[in-house]
């Protein structure tokens, strides 16, 4: 067994590998860029090596620097994680020549499966079901238009070296093809150093289901069941689960057999994933093979009891698999939610900055229920524009799918993050969505169910009362704290019992605290026959980012942000801005002047911190609604900014290469 390994990656996956290596008694070496000088993975490892500037092309994608770091620290093996160099055969070959073990498959398998065009040819040869399409590289727009026309729209333009949704675009009509090719090539070049593209048919109502395979250097290959990864946004997975609520035993066995056959065809060793598209009739088609550890591997670990990172390390050290296919038993259900630094209320635009608060739910294994949180960040750390926006992967495991989802809902409610925007409210809303809970999934789920964008889960009457009563409780605790400030008249601690509650600047009703104790307050909301008594019990104190307690007898967790006299609460994906004032102050507040926000209707603003890739307009040009105006890159993804209305360009305020903050002016209309 290795004594020391280097992790050629960063963030959550680097931390994940370090944990297993530590458990196995193996020392670890971290590599880090300028942007990651204080990153968690660099702090966790036994040794650390600086490898260059923040740009990944000059640091984490530099084969020479990674190999040199392994040599100078005496690392006997390298784990690539996922992304970056994990599927680059030239990296595996460079390590082989340096006599350093690669904790992954052999060079042949990486080359065969890493090229999406060649992998489809091999899959077809191995009698694996494939998606209809053109198996070959496209060279120009004219050829692409001809191929797409023959296949029939909609089609997918995909990067041959792609993965993680990068370099992938769905094209519904020929007039969208040119922009799709341009963006796919740019993303593919930036992410993989390879801008080759191919085209295949886009299957409507698809489910994305993948099979985890595991092989050794002795010809043994098994599969560990499937993962359902259909909840996607912009072709990136958001929520995954194992097993799939859709597959029956017959389909699972057939998909597993094809995945193993393909893995054996390329003499696969280590952990890998064969991805399939499955239609509504359970017909399945090979999509691609990822010759690395997947982001969503924890759900497979939770239902099989295996540590996939440990298995990869043991295989790389030459050990035989310790389990056979008949030993693989799927137990219970696991769900994973990816916590991203993005604003779901602004079309999921990336968010960067300091994590002022980062309070994940406690990891635990209790009564057959597991909460696991894989992360690479810490409170006070920075979320950079240079890398993937994932903050953490929250996983739950229970006996049934319903129990695992309920546990996830509770865990998300307990997750406190402040300082940046994040997608936890959206994840909470999905967990409570009837269609998701029914398992009626497709990769179009988010587009279908949130057509106008995400505006929060429905704020039911029950949630309004629950959140309002909690806000009254919190306001009482704030008032009590103020009364204890020295220098007040007679040192009084008396707090008003009469309140006016305003919810989302619309619902206004009276509230009265009927009884009060140290941790219990009875609140009467409303007047007359419509009034209702709600008891709130909590140990919450001012400043805590999560309210924990019981409201009307129900265990409750709510995310709390307080600005001035308003509580911004999020519970089960529903958001509410609630003010709790004394009646006299509430009455006087109606006389406050309203300050209208500035008119930005004639401006194209940068929606996120990012780098301007291109400007597609000139001063004086007439543009129509929907026309592309600029492309901004953030967190390795290109975002096309389009005109929201017809108009004439008056001024251009930015140029390609500019690094812009959020809401910076890019151009102005007349």
Q: Which two tokens stand for residue 141?
A: 């727009």
- pLDDT of 161: 80
- pLDDT of 492: 52
- pLDDT of 188: 86
How many distinct structural domains can be found in the chain?
5
Closest of 402, 384, 129, 102 to residue 274, by C-alpha = 129
- pLDDT of 573: 92
Residue 176's contacts (CB-CB under 8 Å, 6 or more residues apart) are none
> Residues 288, 336, 342, 633: which is the catalytic one?
288
620 and 520 in a common domain: no
- pLDDT of 488: 60
CATH code, domain with 389 = 3.30.470.20
436 within a domain of the structure (yes/no): no
610 and 569 in a common domain: no
- pLDDT of 494: 61
The CA distances from residue 51 to 34, 351, 495, 648, in Å, are 8, 26, 59, 47
> Could you say which of 201, 230, 246 is where a domain stops?
201
Catalytic-residue membership of 462: no
- pLDDT of 490: 58
- pLDDT of 486: 66
pLDDT digits 0-9 by tens, 224-254: 999 999 999 888 899 999 999 999 999 999 9
Torsion of CA 619, 625, 626, 630, to 10 degrees: 20
Question: 594: which DSSP letter?
Answer: P
541 and 504 in a common domain: yes
111 within a domain of the structure (yes/no): no
564 and 468 in a common domain: yes
374 within a domain of the structure (yes/no): yes
89 and 15 in a common domain: yes
405 and 342 in a common domain: yes
163 and 81 in a common domain: no
- pLDDT of 489: 58
- pLDDT of 169: 92
- pLDDT of 406: 97
484 within a domain of the structure (yes/no): yes
Closest of 308, 307, 298, 254 to residue 276, by C-alpha = 254
- What burial class does residue 310 get, using C-beta atoms within 10 Å of its C-beta: 0-12 exposed, 13-18 middle, 19+ buried? middle
Read off the pTM. Answer: 0.84
Strands 566-571 and 647-652: unpaired
- pLDDT of 493: 54
150 and 84 in a common domain: no
566 and 526 in a common domain: yes
| List of the chain residues with pLDDT < 70 | 164, 486-494, 636
- pLDDT of 563: 85
Alpha helices (runs of H) in 28-115, residue ranges in sequence order: 40-44, 63-73, 89-97, 107-114
570 and 502 in a common domain: yes
**CA pair distance 657, 610, nearest whole angstrom:** 10
Q: Is 48 in contact with 42 (CB distance < 8 Å)? A: yes
Angle (nearest 5°) at CA 119 between 115 and 120: 125
- pLDDT of 60: 97
Phi first, then psi, for residue 41 (nearest 5°) are -65, -35
> Could you say which of 561, 589, 617 is where a domain stops?
589
pLDDT digits 0-9 by tens, 642-652: 888 889 999 99
Write out the residue range of the structural domain in which residue 32 sits. 4-103
């Amino acid at each position: 067994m290795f004594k020391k390994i280097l992790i050629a990656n960063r963030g959550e996956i680097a931390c994940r590998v370090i944990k297993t290596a530590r458990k196995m008694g193996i020392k670890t070496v971290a590599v880090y860029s300028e942007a990651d000088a204080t990153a968690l993975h660099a702090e966790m490892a036994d040794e650390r090596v600086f490898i260059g500037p923040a740009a990944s092309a000059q640091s984490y994608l530099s084969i020479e620097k990674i190999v040199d770091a392994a040599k100078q620290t005496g690392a006997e093996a390298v784990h690539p994680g996922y992304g970056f160099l994990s599927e680059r055969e030239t990296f595996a070959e460079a390590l082989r020549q340096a006599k350093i073990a690669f904790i992954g498959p052999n060079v042949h398998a990486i080359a065969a499966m890493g090229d999406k065009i060649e992998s489809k040819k091999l899959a077809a040869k191995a009698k694996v079901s494939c998606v209809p399409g053109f198996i070959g590289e496209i060279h120009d727009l004219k050829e692409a238009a001809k191929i797409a026309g023959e296949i029939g729209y909609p089609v997918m333009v995909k990067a041959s070296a792609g993965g993680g949704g990068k370099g992938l675009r769905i094209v519904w009509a020929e007039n969208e093809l040119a922009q799709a090719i341009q963006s796919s090539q740019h993303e593919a070049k930036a992410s993989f150093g390879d801008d080759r593209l191919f085209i295949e048919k886009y299957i409507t109502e698809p489910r994305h289901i993948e099979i985890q395979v595991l092989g050794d250097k002795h010809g043994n290959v098994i599969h560990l069941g499937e993962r359902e990864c259909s909840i996607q946004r912009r072709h990136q997975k958001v929520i995954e689960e194992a097993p799939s609520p859709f597959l029956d035993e017959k389909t699972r066995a057939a998909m597993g057999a094809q995945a193993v056959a393909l893995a054996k065809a390329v003499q696969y060793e280590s952990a890998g994933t064969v991805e399939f598209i499955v239609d509504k009739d359970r017909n399945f088609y090979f999509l691609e093979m990822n010759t690395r550890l997947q982001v969503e591997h924890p759900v497979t670990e939770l239902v099989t009891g295996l540590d996939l990172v440990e298995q990869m390390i043991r295989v790389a050290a030459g050990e035989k698999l310790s389990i056979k296919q008949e030993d693989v038993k799927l137990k219970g259900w696991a769900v994973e939610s990816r916590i991203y630094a993005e604003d779901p209320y602004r079309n999921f635009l990336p968010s960067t900055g300091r994590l002022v608060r980062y309070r994940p739910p406690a990891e635990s294994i209790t009564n057959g229920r597991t909460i696991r949180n894989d992360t690479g960040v810490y409170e006070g750390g920075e979320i950079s524009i240079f890398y993937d926006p994932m903050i953490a992967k929250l996983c739950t495991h229970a006996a049934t799918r319903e129990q695992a989802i309920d546990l996830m809902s509770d865990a998300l409610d307990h997750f406190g993050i402040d300082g940046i925007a994040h997608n936890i409210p959206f994840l909470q809303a999905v967990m409570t969505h009837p269609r998701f809970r029914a398992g009626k999934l497709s990769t179009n789920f988010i587009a279908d169910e949130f057509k106008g964008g995400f505006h929060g889960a429905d704020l039911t009457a029950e949630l309004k009362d629950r959140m309002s009563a909690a806000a009254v409780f919190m306001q009482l605790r704030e008032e009590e704290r103020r009364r204890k400030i020295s220098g007040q008249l007679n040192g009084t601690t008396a707090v008003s019992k009469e309140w006016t509650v305003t919810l989302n600047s619309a619902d206004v009703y009276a509230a009265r605290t009927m009884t009060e104790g140290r941790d219990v307050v009875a609140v009467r909301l409303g007047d007359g026959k419509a009034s209702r008594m709600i008891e709130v019990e909590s140990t919450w104190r001012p400043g805590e980012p999560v309210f924990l307690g019981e409201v009307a007898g129900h265990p409750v967790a709510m995310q709390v942000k307080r600005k001035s006299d308003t509580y911004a609460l999020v519970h089960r994906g529903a958001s509410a801005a609630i003010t709790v004032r004394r009646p006299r102050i509430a009455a006087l507040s109606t006389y406050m002047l309203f300050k209208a926000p500035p008119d930005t209707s004639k401006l194209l603003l940068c929606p996120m911190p990012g780098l301007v890739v291109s400007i597609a307009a000139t001063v004086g040009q007439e543009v129509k609604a929907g026309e592309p105006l600029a492309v901004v890159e953030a967190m390795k993804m290109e975002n096309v900014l389009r005109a929201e209305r017809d108009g004439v360009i008056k001024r251009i305020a930015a140029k390609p290469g500019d690094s812009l903050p959020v809401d910076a002016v890019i151009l102005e209309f007349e």
